[in-house]
Amino acid sequence: MTDAGQLVSPDNRVSVIDTATNTIVANIPVGSAPLEVAITPNGAFGYVPALFSDNVTVFSTATNTPIATIPVGVNPLGVAISPNGTLAYVSNHGSNTVSVINTATNTVTATIPVGLQPQGIAFTPNGAFAYIANENSNSVSVINTATNTVVATIPVGIRPRSIVFTLSGQFAYVTNENSNTVSVINAVTNTVVATIPVGTGPVGTAITPDGTLIYVVNKGSNTVSVINIATNTVIATIPVGSSPDQVTILPDGTFAYVTNQVDNTVSVIDIATNMVIATIPGFNGPTGIKTGTICN
């Protein structure tokens, strides 16, 4: 068993990083223009939407090989797995819908209309709702996962990109790329209760396992902002590589990994010091990244 990170590259592959050595140990072929990846809670499978193939590749983390290809909507972009691992939600950027995939059968069981150009997806910790960032509607759609219907639409900043929930599920944090802010949504009332200034062009985001900090990738300023959830203030700004895109944090909370799309690298941040302690080369325009426990 080894902790590993999977990241996607525009050259149609998923690279697997061994976080013990910070080296690439495998490359998995997927569809055309993969931008995000999600790992099932048990660490057994990865789901990768391919923007130009209109499908999702499912790969086994035990063998690092594709095992299924699932047709979805037009230009699939974002993906998230439900907390119980039974569903994968995929945002179809070109058809303004979300495809619901049954992970037991790897088939689409529902298609849900949402806002314009949906991208980032996050489930509430109890799996009852999924929140979708609509990039061109400046809104977040709230889907009831029991009925697969939109039950609320929440105005946020300009060009929302990604969403992360606090561990309690009470609040959702949404990056607004063209507003240079993060919107804080009260998930009970589905209203914005705070707006946090961050760097230029915030895109990806991740929460520490202890639920105290949120890391926000600022694509335009080549930095990562660290938000203290208790105060909703930025407590650190960390320089990383050129045009950073997404971030993931190891399950033990020790390190954050940030993809740098122009540098073709991944920055490794020590959470304790908020400093970059390693830079991993060998990628081609890396974007989405997730961690999981890989069985080799």
Q: In this structure, what DSSP letter does residue 9 have? A: E
pLDDT at 290: 87
Pinpoint the alpha helices (H) of the chain.
none
Residue with tokens 């990768």: 48
Which residues, other chains included, contact 189 with Cβ-Cβ below 8 Å and sequence gap of 6+?
none
Residue with tokens 């700004």: 237
Structure pTM?
A: 0.95
| Structure tokens belonging to residue 98 | 């979300």
Residue with tokens 């069981």: 109
Closest residue by Cα to residue 274 from 238, 244, 234: 238
pLDDT tens column, 193-233: 999 999 999 999 999 999 999 999 999 999 999 999 999 99
Cβ proximity of 185 and 174 under 8 Å: yes
Domain 11-124's class?
A: mainly beta
Closest residue by Cα to residue 60 from 107, 36, 22, 26: 26
**Residue-range domain boundaries for the chain:** 11-124
> Rounded to an integer, what distance in angstroms lies between the CA atom of residue 214 and that of residue 232?
9
Question: Low-confidence residues of the chain, pLDDT below 50?
Answer: 1-2, 293-296
> Rounded to an integer, what distance in angstroms lies between the CA atom of residue 272 and that of residue 67?
38
Closest residue by Cα to residue 14 from 72, 66, 77: 66
> What φ, ψ does residue 149 adopt, rounded to 5°?
-130, 150
Q: In this structure, what DSSP letter does residue 271 have? A: T
The neighbouring-strand residues paired with 27 are: 15
